[in-house]
Structure 1
């Protein structure tokens, strides 16, 4: 009998350990540990049910099973003596293999050595035979009889398991790799779409800016060509003596450097301002006595009685809303209009406040917001946004002012269609611009918060 089967037969079905003080139920023949039966219920000495077959028995019918207890003790000894496996016991007598039969080349127990089968054979202790390596020959594979079988069985069992496990792991890794690369591919596609969209936006922006620059250059080129053409036409009608007066100012103009695309404004100012400078009135021009037109003044503007000064009040005045009056911006026009000849006037300004002076067409829009640009019929210069600016390119004042502006001279040459702005205190040209329209021009004024403007007598 194999030890594993013997161990199951000698195990209590309740505690699953070797029987201790084994007793047998007389009615059904099942055996248990005496100490385990009280756990099955029932009164002491009364009836109870068998834990294995559920049959009813009386506790007084329990019989001690000494033979089973003896088997348990033998099994314990065999277990302690047979640590090497079932090959350490005699399969016929179930006794420990303590001797080695050299004739049979096999270990035997004490019962076998007294039998006729081994009578007269050479018997030596098993330990001594092991030391002499007599059991190391191929005949004595009894020491490891189950190793090859177990090895084959293990390989047979583990081979499909390992193969299946490897396939499963490979499949899982493949799924993970596929998901990872799919996610990476999607991420790269999104990045590609984003970059392509950004590149498209950049290309569109470059195209737009290029078109704007080309359009601006085209306008400026046309503007400068028109100025040159008008200047040449006007100068061709002037006597040679006046042309010689222009020679020295022209020679003093510095050669423009890189990026100074608007330096020709100085040329325009020189050509249109003969004589020693703007302090002296150009030949054929005269200082015009300008007065403000109260019918055009914004309701918040307060005009003086002599109509020579204006300031921005705290709130609007109660004035009639005539078609001529500006209603959205603090603008006012001069009463005088010009279509021919040369005219100039001077305005005392407040350098700390925002303001603008210049000219406006008679048909300039009076209702709603208007821009200080030629497209709106206004050509002006002034101070807003914290800097001196023009109404046309290059917008910012190109000259480095040595001191603040206190008085501005506005000069209008209707013959060549040109407006020039001078620093009247220093006799310096600030800005010059062509007038392409032939409409009547009126002096134009705009005031910022708390600003005041005064016309010189």
Structure 2
């Protein structure tokens, strides 16, 4: 750095002076740097420099004027003093900028007017002025960097010698300068070295080979990305399906719990109504006896004050004639009614410790794939049943010519092989695209000939049917309920709680309860199926499919 450059540098910002001002001590600084000094002086508390000195002299109030010090000579300067621009120095700096405008400028200088570059570093790839070149001269980290005269073609210089790259080493595939081939340099001895101008075709071939490698790697990466996306998509679909399966499972469990809750509410409501009716009837008779006895008591109490024997005899005779006989008081019947009421709610009552494990165990058994197989021995002759016994469809011609009293003669019915008398049971039936159908349960004693062979028409069967047009019917003997369902039913779920006497039919797809029967089972009931409920409907090519448990 020459003496002129040193005089034009602000010691505060370490850059060329911008809008220089002169302090009273004679030193020059940038105007913005002096403004920063004044700001620091205003924010500084008085006496902070001597707060740890016990012998410090207190500042006089008359001298407590905010001041800042010159960074070079530490002379004080009042903050209130207005400094003027050093015009002469400003003009010198302008001429200095004009002189260096045509040369290469420093890459690190700030502002629009940057200082001229003094050196270019081949290793850093940047040019520096004398000021910003100091780290390369003083820091040991940069001592191995090659410095050359300012140039814009730093990339064409050798990073080891700073000379122009003129040669090409085919062995190492790198450019060289003339100094790289000196006898003192052993890196490229015995290598194939040619002129850099003659190496264009060789380098182009190398580029083609490298391009082929890049294309190969790119294709592999593209295929990997494709495989990754396909795998991720497949896994997302699988996760979504698993999520839907679990959600459907929990929704159905919740539906079954709701059905059980409604059933128990109804059961308790009916029991309470029976208790109220029994109590009201007995209480009415007891209240009648109570009124007669109270009247007799009042008459006898009045008789205590009478002196006439004849009147006393009349009162006694009257009371005895109206007195209720002991057997008519109803006290014996009252004891029987009381015992009956106590037996309505048996001990012990519902407890979490005893009942919850039973409920959870029953729910676990509910979804343990209880296999349902159709019994071909009682099937209608025009029913075609699969070898596995899980599908059934109605056909126009007789599928089984064997006549048997166990077969249904007119109704297209078939019962399952196994019946249920205890526990929880659930199965689903696919009825999609079947014009008319019926599902339900029936005793083994259901008639095989009309009129009781039609599901739901008598006391020995319960049925839920649907005809073309969406008309649904739930029927058990005289209990008949017709309604229209807003959706097309495709999968029907049948929930059976034998111990509680609950038979519920559900839309397995939307998980909605369609109808619930409350019944008392006296014998095992068998799942019943009818793929052609209305005889005037056409035959369907689609069979019923029975699923033991939840449809996946």
| Greater relative contact order structure (CA < 8 Å, 6+ sep) | 1
Q: Normalised by the shorter chain, which TM-score bucket?
A: 0.3 to 0.5
Structure number, greater radius of gyration: 1
Q: TM-score, normalised by structure 2?
A: 0.32
